[in-house]
Amino acid sequence: MPEWVDEFISKPIVFVLPVLWYVLKKEKDTLESIGLTLKNFFPSVYIGLGFGMVFAVEGLLAHIIKYQKFDVTPITAFQQYGFFLLILSVATAFSEELLCRGFIFSRVYRKTNNLPLAALVSTILFLLLHVPILVTVNKLTGTTLALYFVTDFVLGFANSILYYNTKSLVAPILVHLFWNMTVSLYL
């Protein structure tokens, strides 16, 4: 299946719509309870941009490890599909962060009042979400696969902490966006 179908059709149907239905109809809760809010918007943007840059640098370091050279020239696909890659990355970040941070993290935290546990559970589920594409589509193995798992774990855990502190999905989505764009451009 083309990636755009996965990100624009499959993930919204499988992740976004059920979460929205469950929160609004079953729980009778607000969108704010899953981080869809404009509260703390600008601080969240600044935090997301700052941490996003850190993950972008980490992605460049992964590029250096993978290709044994420093090359900041984006892959050819960006020259042809640059804006589409950006939109695709936004869709991916939104769907995955809504599910993993907005819904899973916040519901586990609400039930347990245990920040490390909620962050760990949502991060492990975030990692599991990525296993199929990393192994079957990207065919990653060895050091590169291990690096992705470590990076995705750090990304998921950091985004859980950012979400906890901002009560908004803005910062986690921006960090995730920076990481996705870095992966799309350089890895």
Q: What is the pTM of this model?
A: 0.89
Q: Which amino acid is at 166?
A: T
Q: Of 18-22, 63-67, 169-173, where does mean pLDDT reach its minimum?
A: 63-67
**Would you give the DSSP letter of residue 28?**
-
| Angstrom distance (rounded) from CA 35 to CA 30 | 9
- The domain locations on the chain are 41-69+86-186
DSSP strands (E only) in the chain:
none
pLDDT in tens, 52-104: 898 888 777 877 877 787 766 666 656 666 788 889 989 999 999 999 999 99
75 DSSP 8-state letter: P
The span from the CA of 126 to the CA of 176, in Å, is 12
* Spatial distance between the Cα atoms of 121 and 52, rounded to a whole number of angstroms: 22
Residues 104-146: pLDDT tens digits?
Answer: 999 999 999 999 999 999 999 999 998 888 877 778 788 878 8
Rounded CA-CA distance 109/126 in Å is: 16
Backbone φ/ψ region at 172: left (φ over 0), alpha (ψ -120 to 50), beta: alpha
